[in-house]
Structures are given as C-alpha cells and as structure tokens.
Amino acid sequence: MRKNLFTVLVVFMCLSLLGIIIVQTFWIQTNLNNRDRQFSLSVNNALASVSEQIKERELRDYIAATQKLMDSIGSPKESQLTEVFQYIDRTTEENKTLLVSSGIIEDTYEIFPNLYDPTSSDSTPILDYRSIKATTVLEEDVEGTINRMSSAERIQRIERLSSMDKAKYESIFMDIAANKSIEKRVSTFELELLLGQELLLRDIDASFEFRVFEGNRMSGLGTDLFLQNINNTTYKTPLFVDINGDSSYELRLIFPDKSAFLRSSVLNSIALSVFFTLILIGVFTVTLLQAFKQKKISEIKSDFINNMTHEFKTPIATIQLALDALATPVIAKKPDKVTQYLGLIRDESRRMNTQVENVLQISRLDRKELELTTSEIDPHRPIKTAIEHVRLLIDQNEGTLRMSFDPMQVKLNMSESHMTNVWVNLLENAIKYSKDRVEIDVTTSISEDAFVVQIEDQGIGMSNSVRKRVFDRFYREESGNIHNVKGHGLGLSYVKRIVELHNGTISVSSQLKKGSAFTVRFPLKHAL
C-alpha cells in the first residue's frame, strides 16, 4: 500500500472514531435532557394533582359536616317549597354557626285561564312564586363537626349529593375556608403523603423537600431541610385556588438528588453506550496497531529482499568472474590458478548455501519443524569451534579475541551444530559492529545452577530502542534509510530461538560508542 494512501486511511479512521464518540456523547446528553423534561412534566402533574386533591378533600369535609348538621334539624315545614338550598354560614361578630335555608314558595289563587278566555280548555291554575330565606342558629360549629367525623361517615354523606349540589356548595365554602389559616386547612403529613404517592405513581422515587409559602412568607408547613437546598430547581403549584383562579398560597418542591436520579434513570443506556464505544475504540486501536505492524513488516521484508539480493549478488558475480577466467586458455594452462578459482567458486557457493540455510532454519523454527539432535557435550566445545570459524575474519581486521573459560568441567545436553551457529552469529556481529579495531572478550563461568557465556565487544554499541528490538526478526539498526552493515536481520532472531529451545536465556547490555555485551545463560538442572 502506498504511504500516502495508508496515511489517508488512518486519518479517516481516526475521524470516524472521533465522530462516533461525539455522536454518542451528544446522544447521552440529549437523553439526559429529555429525561429532565419528562421529569419536570411529571413533577408538575404530580403537584397539580396534589393541589386538586387537597382542595377536594377540604370541600368534602365541609359538605359532610353540613349534611350531618342539617340531618339533625330535619326537613323544612313548608310543604309548598319547590326547591330548598341549604348551607352553613358563620357570623364574624357573634361567632355563631348558622344554617341558611333559601327556597321558592309556590302560591295558587284558584284562577284559571278560562276566566279570561271562555273558549280556552286549559285547566291549569295560574301560580304565583316568591322566594323565602330562613336562618337557624346551630349549637355546633362546622370545624368541630368535621374533626369528630370519621372518614367513612364523610364519604357516606358526600355520596348523597349530586354534582349540581356539590357545585352549589363549592363557591360558598371556598369563601368560608379562605378566612382560616393555611395550617388549619392542611397538614405537613398530608402534603408529604400525597406528594410521595403522586411521585411514585409517575416512577419518581427520589427524595424531596417541600414548603408552603404565602406570597414570599414561608409558612410552618413543610420539611426542615427545604432551606438548605433552596438553590436547587424549585417546582411550584398554587394551593386552594378560588373561582377566579387566584391563590394566596404556593406549594414549592425541591429534589436535592435530582441529578443523581436522572443519571441513574438512564444509567443502563449510558453504560451500554460507553461499553460498546470502548469496544469500538479497542478494536480500532488493535486494527491500527496491526496496520502499522503489517506496514512495518512489509518494509522490513522489502529491506530483507534487498539485503539478500546484495548477499547473493556479490558471490554470484564472483563465481561468474571465476568461471569466465577458467574459460580463458591462459588460465586453463595454469593449474594453480585453476585450483585458486575453483576454491573461490566453492567458497562463494558455500556462502550462498549458508545464507539460504539460515532463512530455511528460521522458517522451520516458526513452524516448529526444526528437530534438535542433542547429546551430552562439553559446552565449551561449540564455542571453540565457532572461534576457529571467525579467526580468519579477526586476523583480517587485525583484531584481538581474548578467551577466559571456567576450568570446571560440566556436561550439557546440546545440539552441537546449532550451538556452534549461535556462537558464530554472535561473534560475527561483534566483528561487524566493531570500530576501527576489533576487540572481543569471550568469558564463561559455571555456578551451582547455570552455565553462563558472555561475548563482549568494544564496538559502536546500541541505543535503548535498538537494544529492545535487536532480537526481532528482520530487524536491523538503520541510519536514515541506509544500512551501515549489510545483512538480512535473521541472525539474532535465530540465536534467541535456539537458546530458548535449550531452555536458556539471552540478554544484551549496551551503550552507544562503548560496545555491547551478550550474555547467554543455560540452567544446569534443566538442560536438555
């Protein structure tokens, strides 16, 4: 994939993820706002219902008491009353309770229409109507009667009345009740009970505080903690509204934990949204990391192919030149030259075969197809063999290799050929990454539980970032886009894998411009 296209895809993926997160955040906020509006609507409906219930309860109390008092007096004496309307009144000067009876009396004078029109057949007499009003002083007051009546008795008496009768009484009793203090018309307990019931009916199970106000004056009705939460959102409704829609009292309601209640009401949807958003972020992150990894692997493989091409190109070119030389009659007549060129061809062929074998070994290690043929050997033996393999390279670079082997004898179960390759790779790395002069120290030590080998050079060293990745396959330190030392980046990966197959561990310590030290440790008790 082209670099520019890859960058564009990553940018669009990031923007898409950011857009999804913003949409989710907006959705959650919108959900909370909708829930807040629904909450406010439900609370206002609950307050309106409480106000209406209190007003109806007060009216029922007055009507029930009035009915009881009227029952104790009996029916009007005048049989000619066509309609009687009775209600309780109370004098302000004498402080007496009065039963006011108002009706219409029907009078007949035995005068018929045919008196004026002989031809008329209508026999209905002409009637005369006049209104009357009577007042009776009651021994008991309405409030006292209300307090002494049970709930069942009130309901029974109210059920006698028609809707028309109730409407007649309402305007009268509203004027009477308006003269009483709010504390005598309703109680804190009744308000709290009705508010709790109405809120629960609307699925609002949140703590609340309330207070009744007369204008801006706070009455004695309400909860004590209302003032401590006065800064919260306040919901209001008028109490005891008169026929003109006016009211002197206002019930105010506050929810101290409103925000927590609203969040809890949408907690499940928020949790699911956050959960799936986190999953999406995780998947996106893994995908992005994998994309970068694949991109890096692609670049590494390209470098590997370039390096392998270089590694093969040189010996192939050398072999081609040697073959061309052997084809000339002059060289063909010189046996020593023929032998020299044949040896060169053999060495270069062996070199290419080694490179191919390294790649194949790594492939077999990945597929776990590599079988180690092991035997109990002196672990120093493959080290000495490897030193002999690289001795010529050290001499060509006029370098120094110092050996310090532990004199103690120990036997380890090892694959001698693979362990030889391990030490050759480490020694060749020390040579390739040395400075002008090659200086290598090979040290072994034997303790009670391990056989330890350290190969230390005085070369260019490694940075921390390089040191952490030095055993990764295909990885090679770069300076810009140009490799300082040619190779295919498989040697140390192979070394680490072979060491691990022998139950060993390998580590490296290094400082830039001061050199590196590779330490290989094989446990004595768990050796193969």
Whether the pLDDT of residue 115 is over 60: the answer is no
What ranges do the domains of the chain cover?
59-116+134-177, 267-363, 371-523
- Answer whether 267-363 and 371-523 agree in fold: no
**In the predicted model, what is the mean pLDDT of residues 81-101?**
51
**pLDDT higher than 50, residue 103:** yes
Dist. CA 39–CA 243, nearest whole Å: 30
pLDDT at position 76 is 43
The band of 311, judged by pLDDT with boundaries at 50, 70 and 90, is low
Q: Is the model's pLDDT at 131 over the cut of 60?
A: no
pLDDT of residue 123: 64
Which pLDDT score is estimated for 111? 43
Span of 156-165, 300-309, 461-470 with lowest mean pLDDT: 156-165
CB 448 within 8 A of CB 491: no
How does residue 377 score in pLDDT terms, banded at 50, 70 and 90? very high
Closest CA to 459 of 403, 514, 397, 527: 514
The residue with tokens 């009396």 is: 105
CATH of 267-363, one of 1.20.58.100, 1.10.287.130, 3.40.50.2000, 1.10.10.10: 1.10.287.130
How far is Cα 128 from Cα 104, in angstroms, rounded to an integer? 10
* DSSP state letters, 202-239: TT-----EEEEEETTEEEEEE-TTTGGGTTS-EEEEEE
Distance CA 56, CA 158 (A): 11
The top-level CATH class assigned to 371-523 is alpha beta
Q: What is the DSSP string of 303-331?
A: HHHHHHHHHHHHHHHHHHHHHHHHTSHHH
Enter the pTM of the model: 0.45
- How much is the pLDDT for 140? 47
Give the model confidence (pLDDT) of 59-75 as tens digits: 777 777 666 655 655 54
Average pLDDT, the chain: 76
